[in-house]
Amino acid sequence: MAPRVDALYYYLLGSALAVVLLVAGLILYFSLKYRKGSRADRGPISPLYRAIVETTYIGAPLIVFASMFYWGATLFFEGVQSPDDAIDIHVIGKQWMWKLQQPSGRREINELHVPLGRAVRLTMISQDVIHSFYVPAFRVKQDVLPGRYVQTWFEPTSLGEFRLLCAEYCGTNHSRMIGRVIVMEPSRYEAWLGGASAREEPVTAGARLFEELRCAGCHQGSTPRGPALDHVWGEKVQLAGGGTVVADDDYLRESILRPAAKVVAGYPPIMPSFESQLDEEDLLELIAYLKSLSNQPRHQP
């Protein structure tokens, strides 16, 4: 993505430069041509000439600005739509560090190891204030907000270490909220992943939490008191009082923390809040587990 972001940037810079040169050139030209005492024609200009001039100076900027918008919007959409086969990394920003978790469960602080040539999707949230995940070399900069998941993605195309910064002023040690992204050969990445002692994958940890919190007590069984949770992720949910919502990461997070916010039609609002029992890591793991359930084949009736 980086060369394409740069191309757009140089296009913006180039157009700005062209306008500066044009305006400065015209100022110089007119101040010489119409200087006091010069014999330049100061009579009225013809309506046709005026019309041509006005059409040009309305039309030309319109074309240039519209092209900037089209180019920028196209790049933006590609920048937010990650490929399906991307590696999922969880990122939690906090004052003042980046906490990252690999799909294998391996955790890192202020370091992110990724394999060369594979798309990497980051699902990010902050546990306090607004931070911004910024890897200048990848032209990736995404604000990380409390209370809401945001995603971004990149595909590293060369090996090495790249600076990771926080690009949103977030308090005293904002300037020290720095780290690095390490791009490795895929084989070395696999070895690095396996090198750590056994860790729980987010899906496994989520399943364990699901068990520990006794979610199944209400959400499973023959007479469930809450809606079934297998195949809920990505589905449309009918709400009590009308309306629907797509069960994405944010909806699931909200429903765990503030169950009364969006109650599923046909069920009483009896679920307690789990806000005091879960941190952002737990929530990401629970959601990863619910997501994994919806990837499994449905039970045959």
Phi/psi for 233 (5° steps) reads -65, 130
Tell me the Cα Rg of the chain: 28
Q: How far is the CB of 96 from ligand CUA (least distance, A)?
A: 6
Q: Which of residues 215-244 bind ligand CUA (CB under 6 A)?
A: none
* Between 133 and 233, CB nearer to ligand CUA: 133
User: Binding to ligand CUA by residue 280, rule CB under 6 A?
Assistant: no
User: What's the CA gap between 91 and 104, in Å, rounded?
Assistant: 14
What x/- string results for residues 123 through 152 when contact with ligand CUA is judged by CB under 6 A?
--------x---------------------
Residue 182 as a binder of ligand CUA (CB under 6 A): the answer is no
Q: Give the whole-angstrom CA distance, residue 145 versus residue 109.
A: 18
The minimum distance between CB 166 and ligand CUA, in angstroms, equals 3
Candidate list 122, 124, 166, 229; residue touching ligand CUA; CB under 6 A: 166
Residue where the block lists tokens 């039970």: 299
Nearest to 106, CA basis, from 93, 119, 87: 87
Query: Binder to ligand CUA among 92, 114, 140, 177 (CB under 6 A)?
Result: 177
Give me 256's structure tokens: 């765990």
* Positive or negative: CA dihedral 82, 286, 129, 257: positive
Contact between 14 and 74 under an 8 Å Cβ cutoff? The reply is no
Q: Least distance to ligand CUA from the beta carbon of 54, Å? A: 48
Closest CB 136 distance from ligand CUA, rounded Å: 15
At residue 140, what are phi and psi to the nearest 5 degrees?
-110, 120
The CA distance from 187 to 212, in Å, is 36
Q: Near ligand CUA by CB under 6 A, which window of 60-68, 162-170, 182-190, 242-250? A: 162-170
Task: Give least dist CB 33 to ligand CUA, A.
Answer: 54
When asked if residue 91 is in the footprint of ligand CUA (CB under 6 A), the reply is: no
CB of 127 to ligand CUA, least distance (A): 11
Q: Which is nearer to ligand CUA, 170 or 229 (CB)?
A: 170
Q: Candidates 13-21, 58-66, 105-113, 167-175 — which segment interacts with ligand CUA by CB under 6 A? A: 167-175
* Dihedral sign for Cα atoms in the order 239, 273, 283, 133: positive
Strand ranges in the chain using DSSP code E only, listed in sequence order: 87-94, 97-101, 107-109, 111-115, 120-126, 131-135, 140-144, 150-154, 160-166, 179-184, 236-238, 244-246
239 to 29, 260, 278: CA distances (angstroms): 68, 11, 25
Nearest approach, Cβ of 200 to ligand CUA (angstroms)? 27
* Phi/psi at 192 (5° precision): -60, -40
Instruction: Return the range that interacts with ligand CUA (CB under 6 A); candidates 16-24, 55-63, 169-177, 276-284.
Output: 169-177
From 22-30, 37-45, 165-173, 213-221, span contacting ligand CUA (CB under 6 A): 165-173
Residue 168 contacts ligand CUA per CB under 6 A: yes
**Under the criterion CB under 6 A, does residue 170 sit at the interface with ligand CUA?**
yes
Which of these ranges, 170-178, 182-190, 197-205, 211-219, lies near ligand CUA under the rule CB under 6 A?
170-178
Catalog residues that contact ligand CUA under the rule CB under 6 A: 93, 96, 131, 166, 168-170, 174, 177
